[in-house]
Amino acid sequence: MKRMARAILAAICLALLSSVSGAMVAIPLINAGFESTKPGMFGNPEGWVSIQHAGDLSYTFRLDEAVRHDGARSVRIDNVGPEPFGSIYQQLPAAAHRGKRLRFSAWLRTENVRGSLTGGGGVLILQAMRSGAPLAWNHMKDMPVAGSTEWKRYEVELDVPATADQIEVGAMLHGPGKLWLDDAELQVTGGGR
């Protein structure tokens, strides 16, 4: 009985120490490295959803086995028409993360990216939503990726509002060019500010 009580006390102390020390906690994403070939909704990679600004087809979203950061494949967004942006993202419930600071990171690569009126190029997206409308967001406004670049890891952070019901993470391409996304990670970094 004493041994069990000591084990429980040790587990509680370890949990308290890790929360005090600011240890980051991973939040699982589905198919974060785009390794699954199972089809998702509407032909998207498993776990991911793609959208574009209204109008005729202007962005395509495909698994790419030739250009990848790690593993067997990445996802590539190609601009093929006039609309200003296209994005691929994943949604997850926000309830467990309200009042916390999240960090979304992933590897991006670009080819001939020029941006549009809505943004400066390729970006990561991290946003907190309420009933489908954004409450707070970080879209790399001050550091979009433009031109032709090799693989580089980027990250964005966001404090999740208390009224958020969904979190969205992903990547967006504004305007002409190609954007690759691979090896995405989402973490809780601590309490919000």
**CATH number of residue 74's parent domain:** 2.60.120.260
Residue 18 lies in a domain: no
Is 99 contained in some domain?
yes
pLDDT band at residue 22 using 50, 70 and 90 as cut-offs: low
pTM for this structure?
0.86
28-31 contacts, C-beta under 8 A, 24 or more apart = 29/90, 29/92, 29/169, 29/184, 29/185, 29/186, 30/90
3-state secondary structure of 143: coil
Structural domain contains residue 183: yes
Range of the domain at 96: 25-191
Residue 109 counted as domain residue: yes
- Whole-number pLDDT of residue 20: 43
How many domains would you assign to the chain? 1
Stretch among 2-11, 17-26, 147-156 having the lowest mean pLDDT: 2-11
- Residue 106 falls inside a structural domain: yes
Residue 156 has which token pair? Answer: 């964005």
Confidence check: pLDDT of 100 > 80: yes
Task: Judge whether residue 7 has pLDDT over 50.
Answer: no
- Alpha-carbon gap, residue 140 to 65, rounded angstroms: 27
